[in-house]
Structure 1
Amino acid sequence: MPGPVSAAALSRRNILIASGATALGAGLGFALVPGSGDATAVPPLAEPVTGPASGPPAAPTSPAGPAAARPYTAGTTLHSVAAPRGRGGYRRLGDGPGWKRVTRTELAAAGSGRAARRTSLSCFVQFTDLHLTDVQNPQRYEFLRSAAPAGWRPQEALTNAGAVSLVERVNALRYGPATGTPIGFVMTTGDNTDNNSRIELDWFLAVMSGGRFTPDSGDAGHYEGVQDSGLKGFWQPDAALRDLDKAAGYPRLPGFLAAAVRELNSPGLNVPWYSTIGNHDQLYGGSYAASSFFHDLALGSRKLFWLPRAEAEAVNAFLRQGPDPQGTRFREAWNRYKSSARTVTPDGRRAPVTPREYIAAHLDPAHAGAGPVGHGYTTAELDSGRLHYAFRISDGVLGISLDTTDRGGDYRGSLGTDQLNWLDRTLTAHADDTVLVFSHHPSWSMTNLVRDPARPGERRHGGDEVLALLGRHANVAAWINGHSHKNRIVPHGTFWEVSTASHVDYPQLARIIELTDNHDGTLSLLCTLVESAAPYRTDLSDLSQTGLAALYRELAFNAPGSRATLSGEPGDRNVELLLKKR
């Protein structure tokens, strides 16, 4: 992975120029003509907004583009959703009925005729919890599956193929389904990777910005993980062994592992994209603070595949119930059973990534894609190592990206005092803007107050304090997040909290969000879920890139121990969320 980019090579001004030059349609406001679906473009911002007094840089803008398309449903879950066929055991997927849009009025009444009057303020897509995974990394704890079937996912080797297919879906849509406004950008809300490793970060940047990459580590072209271990606790796709998953109906697929580590080609998003960090992007296994033990484990040649059930149950209990931020119980179990660890090929690309390295990778011009250079991060963040920032979405709309990962350890989140105060100041400085806040953790998962070892004198603040702060600022329209892998939308007095399901667990979704002014004293957030572009029906003999993406979805649906409730209730899926315009 390239080293840090120098400040001289990428000044803040250069970043703004580069981002503006590659933009496609972000920052445009569209006044929808009643009954026609046509639009008139509002002139873009004349100059980027810079400097501490006037706020963050402007989003990339472009001259007025083509008129907005008509509202549509094709390619979204309004039209159809993957659905199982048959009964019992391993079930194949096909197309099922779509999910209707539900109007939610807990925060404001729905005025008649608003669809004909509304003006589009923004249209973007949220990706969350891609969990691009190096399945051969020695620091992974697949051995928890001996305690619970959901401790390991049979589909994990195909995370990259699935993510590329999601990019293909967004590129094909181009417009928001409710207003026909061009999609301005994509925001990831964390857990972009799974093991906080350089190689996974490289894969993520290639998926988002485009390019060829090989989702393989260790011995090139030779898979060295639990799926060729001969252990019955894991799906052995190439072998005739009757393992746990084949007993549940999983097929035998000779050639699967060779295909899973084969080169992929991502077209990259054709719109700008921004990045928010999650706990798996910065903590070992998404849970444990930095230590020499985990660093050496990731770079080493010994991988523990299995633990006795009682031992795995104890490790899992500490992991889930905690706090065990340093992974003490994990280390004890690993050391107790290290004699049964297997030898794998070490790979220096599995090295953990520091906050500054994470920012530097985003700033690398090779990963600029459709822009902006840095994907939200600038040389200011590179100098400070901080991973929160604000950015201009459109004229009158501001985005704020938070870093809710607690580097003291634990998968749950919180904010440090410095960031909480920065959030308060930023909201105050932009009182005239409508603000969308992005983070990885939702409010209900921000309960970890372990202090950051790098800032032992700083308090941590949980979700209740963040909700209270956001509630004091009438300009906040929504807090958009992920982490829980479940669709859930909660009203909070004056704003909505929108949490979206992951793309690693079924139903593997992303969310289009269209913000509109209804010109009756209300705003609407029109949210529409989308699946990847992979076909619903799989051909088990098709191990092409597209075939693997389709198989990724079907394996996830059938994964033992998977939760059937992650799609949420109808009011958490395709919705119109009304709120009062301040």
Structure 2
Amino acid sequence: MHRRSTRSAAPHLDRRGFLAAAGAVGTGLTLTLAGSAAADTPDPGTHPAAGAPETGTLAEAAPSGAGTTLASVAAPRGSGGYRRLGEGPGWPRRVRTELSAARATRDRRRTTLASFVQFTDLHLTDVQHPLRYEFFRSGGPGAWRPHEALTLPGVVSLIERVNKLRHGPATGSPLRFVITTGDNGDENAKIEAEWFLTAMSGGRLTPNTGDPRHYEGVQNSNLKLYWHPESSLRDQDKAVGYPRIHGYLDAAMRRVNSPGLNIPWYSTFGNHDLLSGGCYPAVGSFIAEVAVGGKKLYSIPAKEAKWLMDGELHGVDPRGKRIEDLLRRHKKELRRVTPDPRRVPLTQHQYMAMHLDPAYTGKGPAGHGYTKANLDSGNLYYTFRVSDRVLGVSLDSTSPGGHYQGSLGSAQFSWLEKVLADHKDDYVLIFSHHPSWSMDNTTPDPAHPQDKRYGGDELIDLLQRHKNVLAWINGHSHRNRIRPRGTFWEIATASHIDYPQLARVIEITDNHDGTISLFTTLIESAAPYRTDFHDLSQTGLASLYRELAFNAPGSDPSLVGEATDRNTELLLKR
């Protein structure tokens, strides 16, 4: 489950509040591949990216919006409680000049500095996990996603979109890498990390845990609180038009095949990659025992759910004592499920070590940003070469003490300050999971209880003191939002689990007129817009994933953002 910052929207008790928070290029221009040997000179005091495949020579292409939201976007058809999707008109590109005027001649000599894709908030989900927080739904319909059993075919379809796209729509430059900005899994379970790494690098993965023969989640529990796709039960989702689909659960648990990305990719850490439900430290706690155990709580009274959600919203219980007490109080109501050791929660060290497993190298780089130096230090932040002139900095904004909001510890903050000073002659891109408005978590790090935690305003102030920073790119809020920050742009991108299920292509050009342009273009998965309830193929499920997400009760239509938060050209003076 995902939580939204109270600073990005008014507080409320619906857990969807948490779920949506809990021109021409010079011919022949070739960029150095991110992470290539030529770009990986170690930097003092930083973690250089691991080696990636050698520099590629994929040819330039004419700029084109084909395959992006410039050309078309999923749009609802008809009216009623449940609406089908079809092809709608694309979103035009908006030029934003808050930080620099747009000169009419800027497209005549521009050259590309960077061209890449941002994934964020994939939330690959083990829907049969014994300690998912579906029971919060009694406190509001948005506290559980009816479509989350389809996260794996959904993300594979997104990977297929990037593989087909190949070039940036604004410049025609080859896409050089993908970076995920956190919440790659949902419950900090080893099996979810395996699914994420396999999907990104290529291979077969089976979204089924526990009893391999029978689904053991809430969608066949006979509780009207949840959508029962194969049952005639008049549950609360069917009451608003959700369909009955025979064979859905078997299809959702079936093996998925991923081609893997055909370009290198990097990984950034999110709160759901460490904390149970994105909120509570798991390793070494009661949560770890429940996660691999054989008992599951399916529902609680509405009043209790609302009280717990309010506590999570305000961070009053970062260690999860309320959840522990809840499970004890409802001990007699727990249902039996099949234990599975693959659901064990991971430490930060184990999470990084899995990235370094050769089985998951794919197109590289080895470790996907994490190195042996990261394993030795325990730090999940690092630098990598985006191109000859651009440095990428991946931060760890998750607070290990608990709570879904973020912050930076003092060691990482000092490290970042040194990196920015050492690279004053480079342009710099900052990547993190949390946006500035969701970084107000002062919960101490148990390993360093005396250290100060730095919030979003302090990070903005630091970045503004270094004029080489072009952008801070993040996720977490599950919404498209782009804000000028005086000397750089902050770019937040919607998730790929809550509708509108988007990723973002980012292209950066030097206009050779004293300005830089950052082009942002949103993309959907490759799945067809139209669904067929009888088509339970991998592709059919990916289409259904999008449509079910659009119709999810309690969903937030504002997550798509304004037109100026979607397809843009962002100008900077440089």
- TM-score relative to the length of structure 1: 0.92
Call closer, same or farther: CA 1:81–1:42 in 2, change over 3 Å.
Answer: closer
The aligned counterpart of 2:95 is 103
SS in 2 for 1:515: strand
Question: Which whole-Å deviations, capped at 9, do the CAs of 1:56-110 have from their partners, x for residues lacking one?
Answer: 3587474562431001111100000000000011100000010000000011110
* Residue 492 in structure 1 maps to residue 485 in structure 2: yes
1:40 alignment partner AA: L
* Residue 279 in structure 1 maps to residue 268 in structure 2: no
> Partners in 1 of 2:262 and 2:119 — Cα distance?
15
SS in 2 for 1:187: strand
The aligned counterpart of 2:41 is 50
The aligned counterpart of 2:417 is 424
* Residue 475 in structure 1 maps to residue 430 in structure 2: no
Aligned to 2:373, which of 368, 377, 380? 380
1:462 alignment partner AA: G
Unmatched segments (≥5 aa) in structure 1: 1-29
Q: Displacement of 1:322 after TM fit?
A: 2.2
> Partners in 2 of 1:435 and 1:43 — Cα distance?
16
* Residue 401 in structure 1 maps to residue 394 in structure 2: yes
SS in 1 for 2:209: coil
Q: Check the 8 A contact 1:31/1:39 in 2, yes or no.
A: no
Identity %: 61
How many residue pairs match? The answer is 548
* Residue 313 in structure 1 maps to residue 306 in structure 2: yes
The aligned counterpart of 1:550 is 543
SS in 2 for 1:191: coil
Q: Check the 8 A contact 1:363/1:374 in 2, yes or no.
A: yes
SS in 2 for 1:78: coil
Aligned to 1:357, which of 346, 350, 358? 350
Q: Check the 8 A contact 2:52/2:363 in 1, yes or no.
A: no
Question: Which whole-Å deviations, capped at 9, do the CAs of 1:184-226 have from their partners, x for residues lacking one?
Answer: 0000000000000100000000110000010110001321000
Q: Check the 8 A contact 2:122/2:184 in 1, yes or no.
A: yes
SS in 1 for 2:29: strand
Aligned to 1:157, which of 149, 153, 172? 149
* Residue 252 in structure 1 maps to residue 241 in structure 2: no
Instruction: Give the 5 Å matches for 1:288-327.
Output: 288-290=280-282, 291-327=284-320
Question: Which whole-Å deviations, capped at 9, do the CAs of 1:293-332 have from their partners, x for residues lacking one?
Answer: 1111101111000001111111111111222101122222
SS in 2 for 1:39: coil
The aligned counterpart of 1:40 is 29
* Residue 94 in structure 1 maps to residue 86 in structure 2: yes
> Partners in 2 of 1:468 and 1:63 — Cα distance?
36
Unmatched segments (≥5 aa) in structure 2: 1-22
Which range moved further: 147-156 or 49-58?
A: 49-58
SS in 1 for 2:383: strand
Aligned to 1:121, which of 92, 113, 118? 113
Instruction: Give the 5 Å matches for 1:453-468.
Output: 453-468=446-461
Call closer, same or farther: CA 1:63–1:458 in 2, change over 3 Å.
Answer: closer
* Residue 560 in structure 1 maps to residue 560 in structure 2: no
The aligned counterpart of 2:12 is none
The aligned counterpart of 1:197 is 189
Call closer, same or farther: CA 1:187–1:57 in 2, change over 3 Å.
Answer: closer
Call closer, same or farther: CA 1:247–1:54 in 2, change over 3 Å.
Answer: closer
Instruction: Give the 5 Å matches for 1:13-92.
Output: 32-33=25-26, 38-41=27-30, 47-53=38-44, 56-57=48-49, 60=52, 62-63=54-55, 65-92=57-84
SS in 2 for 1:405: coil
* Residue 507 in structure 1 maps to residue 496 in structure 2: no
* Residue 444 in structure 1 maps to residue 437 in structure 2: yes
SS in 2 for 1:498: strand
* Residue 132 in structure 1 maps to residue 124 in structure 2: yes
> Partners in 2 of 1:67 and 1:284 — Cα distance?
44
1:211 alignment partner AA: G
> Partners in 1 of 2:50 and 2:95 — Cα distance?
32
> Partners in 2 of 1:530 and 1:347 — Cα distance?
36
> Partners in 2 of 1:66 and 1:484 — Cα distance?
34
* Residue 267 in structure 1 maps to residue 256 in structure 2: no
Q: Displacement of 1:551 after TM fit?
A: 0.2
Q: Displacement of 1:53 after TM fit?
A: 3.8
> Partners in 1 of 2:352 and 2:326 — Cα distance?
34
Aligned to 2:218, which of 226, 249, 252? 226
The aligned counterpart of 2:230 is 238
